[in-house]
């Protein structure tokens, strides 16, 4: 049976006794149904994780004793930044959750000319809050000890200036070359378009900004499928799947 893991945004130190934040406490008692003496794993996104024992609990307060620090490191050697066009319904949420499981390093939501999602500032804030919860849940499930940052939504024009040490790739089913990176590459930025793809103007802007076109085999993948296939391939080529 795998360890139960909980993210807590508080300092953790071996030997200390802490009170879980209210949301985590409620989840531990009402969802996980933990009892006195149960062991779980806590992590706060700062690296490593901590084995802890439940000392006392009710619906609002849970006291944990931190038994030991475990220097776990499950991050990929390949830094991957996913610049993902927003999709309809739950497509973006699905892509974000699975990308975190696959080891993505950071996520940048992208607004394009064909983006069909129109958000007010309030709805945008609510959506980002929900996405952050999905990211944390995916880290809890997959064993990651660091939380990949979720950046604010941008337009393609905002991505013109790139990092000099990052290989920039735009996924394009019409590209002549398949997705591949050299063994020496340590940072990759993946640009994934919306349903219907990028407009000609956006594609030209991406090309002039240093994005190299690459395809994923002979089939056209959906906007939420393409980044996951690309991340899996990159992990196999230069990440941590072959180690």
Q: Which residues of the chain have pLDDT under 50?
A: none
pLDDT of the residue at 60? 74
pLDDT of the residue at 218? 93
Decide: pTM greater than 0.85. Answer: yes
Q: Please give the Cα distance from 161 to 221 (Å, whole number).
A: 27
pLDDT in tens, 102-124: 999 999 999 999 886 666 666 77
């Amino acid at each position: 049976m795998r360890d139960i893991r909980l993210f807590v945004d508080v300092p953790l130190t071996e030997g200390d006794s802490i009170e879980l934040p209210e949301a985590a406490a409620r989840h531990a008692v009402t969802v996980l149904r933990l009892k006195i003496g149960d062991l779980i794993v806590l992590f706060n996104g700062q690296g490593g994780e901590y084995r802890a024992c439940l000392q006392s609990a009710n619906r609002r307060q849970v006291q944990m004793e931190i038994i030991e620090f475990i220097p776990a490191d499950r991050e990929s050697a390949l830094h991957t930044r996913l610049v993902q066009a927003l999709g309809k319904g739950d497509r973006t949420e699905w892509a974000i959750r699975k990308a975190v499981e696959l080891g993505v390093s950071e996520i940048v939501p992208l607004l394009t000319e064909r983006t069909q999602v129109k958000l007010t500032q309030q709805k945008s804030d609510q959506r980002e809050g929900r996405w952050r919860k999905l990211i944390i849940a995916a880290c809890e499930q997959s064993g990651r000890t660091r939380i990949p940052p979720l950046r604010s939504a941008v337009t393609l024009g905002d991505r013109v200036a790139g990092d000099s040490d990052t290989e920039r790739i735009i996924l394009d089913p019409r590209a002549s070359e398949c997705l591949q990176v050299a063994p020496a590459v340590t940072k990759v930025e993946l640009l994934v378009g919306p349903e219907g793809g990028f407009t000609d103007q956006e594609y030209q802007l991406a090309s002039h900004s240093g994005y190299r076109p690459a395809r994923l085999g002979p089939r056209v993948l959906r906007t939420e499928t393409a980044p996951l296939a690309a991340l899996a391939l990159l992990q196999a080529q230069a990440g941590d799947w072959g180690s």
